[in-house]
Amino acid sequence: MIENLEQIGQTIQGLLSSGENDLVADYIRAAREACVEPARQSTESEEAAGPEMALQLKVYLQAAIKGDRRAATHIALDAQQQVTDVVDLYVDLFQAAQYEVGRLWQENRITVAEEHMATAITQYVMAQIYSHFEGRDRDRGRLVITGIEGELHQVGANMVADVLEARGWNVRFLGTNVPQEGVLQAIEEHHADAVGISATMLLSIPKAVHLIEALRNRFSTECPRILLGGRAFISTPTLVHELKAEGAATDLRSALALM
């Protein structure tokens, strides 16, 4: 198979433009690397992606885990041309890839360094895709999305920020590890109609509670809608009601449904 792939690459090299050659070369390189990986059953993430995106997900994962930013970017840009809604790209490629990277790490099939590298590449590729978003009126409302002070995970919240902006929200994404006062100030300056709070670690729950209490004290008369997301809130579903939030998103599509 590897030899056949090499022959295909050599044969078509003179038939394509420089840009097309680069794209094909990225696919062939990732496919060659995949040939030496042990065979495995399709995962839930790959099956959920659908037959059209499943193959691209496999190749994208291979590129991300190997640290090949260029190949991962080409694959994602190519996949973007095949979807009618950018949300499908984020759900079926980026979200599915992150779930699979997490699973591989939990099973000790990739190292911590490879997990971090794959996540960093997905954030890099998302930034490239974001630059191709078509301009549209952001008239759905104003939204601030933030992580909790002390948190280091932000890719999930970043995905939510991107897809909501694609759906017409005026989004301020603050990233993660943001001091409480900075979050409150951003909400005030942006005149936010809603606030999305992300937390992945259970240790972050007390700081999330303090942030929500401070938010309600600061904006007592016109408090923005409060929406939660991240594994910490998913693991403690009763908190949604206790904190009187509008809901907790478990993934990208559920985040869209809450809005």
pLDDT tens for 80-91 read: 988 888 889 999
CA distances to 26, 31, 73, 176 from 79, rounded to whole Å, are 14, 16, 10, 28
What integer best gives the mean pLDDT of the chain? 86
What average pLDDT does this structure show over 54-78?
93
Residue 173 — very low, low, confident or very high, per pLDDT cuts 50/70/90? very high
Q: For position 133, what pLDDT does the model report? A: 79
pTM value surpassing 0.85: no
Q: For position 215, what pLDDT does the model report? A: 94
> Could you tell me whether strands 247-249 and 141-147 are parallel, antiparallel, or unpaired per DSSP bridges?
unpaired
CA distances to 62, 79, 112, 154, 253 from 88, rounded to whole Å, are 20, 10, 28, 20, 9
Domain ranges of the chain: 2-130, 141-258
Phi, psi (rounded to 5 degrees) for 145: -120, 130
- SS3 state at 55: helix
The architecture in CATH of the region 141-258 reads: 3-Layer(aba) Sandwich (3.40)
Question: How far, rounded to the nearest angstrom, does the alpha carbon of residue 228 sit from its chain's CA centroid?
Answer: 16
Helices (H), the chain: 2-12, 18-35, 44-48, 50-66, 69-80, 86-89, 96-106, 112-130, 155-166, 180-190, 205-218, 231-235, 238-242, 252-258
pLDDT tens for 130-165 read: 887 776 667 889 999 999 998 888 899 999 999 999
Q: Is the pLDDT of residue 191 over 90?
A: yes
pLDDT tens for 202-218 read: 888 999 999 999 999 99
User: Cβ(5)–Cβ(29) under 8 Å?
Assistant: no
Q: Is the pLDDT higher at 128 or at 47?
A: 128
pLDDT tens for 221-233 read: 889 999 999 888 8
Q: Which amino acid is at 16?
A: L
Q: Is the pLDDT of residue 28 over 90?
A: no
Phi, psi (rounded to 5 degrees) for 43: -90, 170
Residue 39 — very low, low, confident or very high, per pLDDT cuts 50/70/90? very low
What average pLDDT does this structure show over 190-199?
94
Calculate the dihedral angle through the C-alpha atoms of 189, 246, 86, 34, rounding to the nearest 10 degrees: 110
Q: Is the pLDDT of residue 46 over 60?
A: no
Q: Is the pLDDT of residue 44 over 60?
A: no
**If you average pLDDT over each of 5-9, 33-37, 82-86, 87-91, which comes out highest?**
87-91
What average pLDDT does this structure show over 25-45?
64
Residue 170 — very low, low, confident or very high, per pLDDT cuts 50/70/90? very high
- SS3 state at 76: helix
222: which DSSP letter?
Answer: S
Q: Is the pLDDT of residue 49 over 70?
A: no
Place of tokens 């939990």: 106
Q: Is the pLDDT of residue 48 over 70?
A: no
Write the Ramachandran bin of 54: left for phi over 0, alpha for psi from -120 to 50, otherwise beta: alpha
For 32-41, 53-62, 67-76, 162-171, which range has the lowest pLDDT when averaged over its residues? 32-41
Residue 16 structure tokens: 């394509």
